[in-house]
Amino acid sequence: FLIKSHTFCICARIQYERIGNDVTMQCGSLDNDASVTWKVNGTDVKARRREEGPRLILMEVNMSSNGLYSCFQNPDGQRRDQINLRVGLPPKEPQVTCRSNTYPKGFYCSWHLQHPTYIPTDFEVYVQHNQRPLEVTRDEVHKNRCHVKFPELFSSFPYWVNVTAVNSLGRASIAISFEESSIVKPDPPEKVVAKPVANNARRLEVTWNSPSTWPDVETFPLKYFLRYRPLIRDQWQHVTLSNSMSQTSDLYFFLPNKKTAAKDMEIGTWSDWSVAVHATPWMEEPKPITSTTESDIIPGMHELPTVRTPTLLFTVMAVPSVISVLS
Ligand SMILES: *[C@@H]1O[C@H](CO)[C@@H](O)[C@H](O)[C@H]1NC(C)=O
Ligand SMILES: *[C@@H]1O[C@H](CO)[C@@H](O)[C@H](O)[C@H]1NC(C)=O
Ligand SMILES: *[C@@H]1O[C@H](CO)[C@@H](O)[C@H](O)[C@H]1NC(C)=O
């Protein structure tokens, strides 16, 4: 059978243009006096336009101008070019935040654009400390994130981070600076568990683990802050944990499994709150219903406890602390 051969490349080239601009598309390298017919997505071009020999000029392009434009030379109708028109915007300054949840190992910075550009946009990241550029590693999972190791600890020099957004239509950059300690923020405590204590209606045991991302709890211990409220209320009660066991109200005790230094200095900021868990204190076995009227007795049904024991909700957060000897 017959295979029609093409002497031109069938891969369309991409032409990026700015929204609102008048856009000129040139059909290959045809001369000014060539006559061509343009199609978009295989149909006639309907947008506001001018045609000048081998050129198609679209007026004030917008998102609906995107498409695959093909030009065919008259009169033989042979296709001479294909242009993939992508309409978009140059980037504006990205927003950048940096944070260390793995202190003292390093920190990460992430960035995003507040306004879409509609076309592929890349980012260049440059980090400097004490007039020295630092190595920047791109995150493998999060496209808009990079990691940097602390070159030294307790440094008084600020860090400078410069992120530049670049696409075919332009570039914009922003530089931020910060002190080491101001970006330290652990992840929330993990595996928070609250459970009743057997035979004790006035006690609940609450335990948790330090965030698994925190590399060295021995050298950089965390201090915790706990809050709780009855499930049916909105108001939280706050508890600063200064030792391994705290009495927080007349009724309940909390037993954290983490000791914190008696005298310490906080570095950085508190983590976000952990996932909330709830528990109800131990209750005596409810008694079966004793009723005089036959019709009220439903077999197997038990009386509800007359004293309503509140179910409590707990969450925990953490902050790094240095024992005062260090400071
Ligand atoms: C895009 O431009 C065309 C004219 O070329 C116009 O008909 C259409 O309404 C415009 N669309 C938007 C979303 O502005
Ligand atoms: C061409 O097709 C694409 C989808 O394949 C569509 O998004 C675009 O709006 C079309 N362009 C025109 C001008 O019809
Ligand atoms: C960020 O770095 C680029 C070079 O990569 C430079 O052109 C730009 O001026 C810097 N921006 C700021 C705000 O320092």
Tell which atom from ligand 2 comes closest to the C-alpha of 40.
Answer: 13
Rounding to the nearest 10 degrees, give the CA dihedral for residues 228, 234, 237, 241: 40
Is residue 241 domain-shared with residue 309, that is, in the same domain? yes
pLDDT of residue 238: 80
Is 39 within a domain? yes
Domain assignment present for residue 172? The answer is yes
Are 128 and 202 found together in one domain? no
Nearest CA to ligand 1 atom 6: 47
- 138: containing domain: 95-183
Taking alpha carbons only, the member of 105, 324, 325, 320 closest to residue 220 is 320
- My answer on whether 179 and 195 are in the same domain is no
According to the model, what pLDDT value does residue 6 have? Answer: 47
The three-state DSSP-derived secondary structure of 214-280 is CCCCCCCCEEEEEEEEECCCCCCEEEECCCCCEECCCCCEECCCCCCCCCEEECCCCCCCCCCEEEC
CATH number for the domain harbouring residue 41:
2.60.40.10
- The reply to whether 136 falls in a domain is yes
Same-domain pairing of 278 and 203: yes
pLDDT at 211: 92
Same domain? For 174 and 210 the reply is: no
**Does any domain span residue 296?**
no
Same domain, 108 and 83: no
Q: What residues of the chain score a pLDDT lower than 50?
A: 1-9, 243-253, 255-262, 291-307, 324-327
pLDDT in tens, 103-152: 999 999 999 999 999 999 999 999 999 999 999 999 999 999 999 999 99
Distances (CA, A) of 227 to 73, 277, 316: 75, 11, 6
Check residue 199 and give its pLDDT.
Answer: 83
Same-domain pairing of 152 and 266: no
Report the separation in Å between the CA atom of 15 and the middle of ligand 2, taken as the mean of its atom positions.
Answer: 15
What is the model's pLDDT at position 240?
67
Q: Residue 84 pairs with which residues in a beta bridge?
A: 14, 68
- Domain shared by 133 and 244, yes or no: no
Best mutation site among 127, 160, 164 for ligand 3 pocket (most ligand atoms within 8 Å of CB): 164
Choosing from 48, 63, 87, the residue where a domain stops is 87
In this structure, the answer to whether residues 14 and 70 fall within a common structural domain is yes
Which candidate, 101, 99, 126, 123, places its Cα nearest to that of 112?
123
Assigned token pair, 264:
């310490």
Residue ID of nearest Cα to ligand 3 atom 12? 175
- Residue 38 located in a structural domain: yes
Tell me what pLDDT residue 256 has: 46
Answer yes or no: do 166 and 262 share one domain: no
Strand 106-112 and strand 145-149: pairing?
antiparallel
Cα(59)–Cα(65) distance, integer angstroms: 10
Residue whose Cα lies nearest atom 1 of ligand 1: it is 62
Tell me which of 87, 111, 145 is where a domain ends. Answer: 87
Residue 150 contacts by C-beta under 8 Å, 6 or more apart in sequence? 100, 103, 104, 105, 106, 107, 180
- Measured in Å, residue 69 CA sits from the centre of ligand 2 at 10
User: Among 63, 60, 67, 59, which residue's Cα sits nearest to residue 84?
Assistant: 67
- Among 39, 71, 87, identify where a domain stops: 87
**Which pLDDT does position 10 carry in this prediction?**
54
* Confidence (pLDDT) at 19: 97
33 and 74 in a common domain: yes
Task: Assess if residue 66 is contained within a domain.
Answer: yes
Supply 253's token pair. Answer: 């005790």
Q: For residue 51, what are the contacts with CB-CB under 8 A and spacing of at least 6?
A: 36, 38, 57
What is the Å distance from ligand 1's center to 220 Cα? Answer: 59
295 within some domain: no
- pTM recorded for the entire structure: 0.76
* Ligand minimally distant from the alpha carbon of residue 86: 2
Q: Within this chain, do residues 196 and 259 fall inside the same structural domain, yes or no?
A: yes
Decide whether any atom of ligand 2 lies within 6 Å of the 41 Cβ: yes
Cβ of 64 closer than 6 Å to ligand 1, yes or no, is yes
Burial class (CB in 10 A: 0-12, 13-18, 19+), 246: middle
Q: With a 6 A CB cut-off, is 184 part of the ligand 2 pocket?
A: no
In the chain, how many domains are there?
3
Say if 297 falls within a structural domain: no
pLDDT of amino acid 323: 58
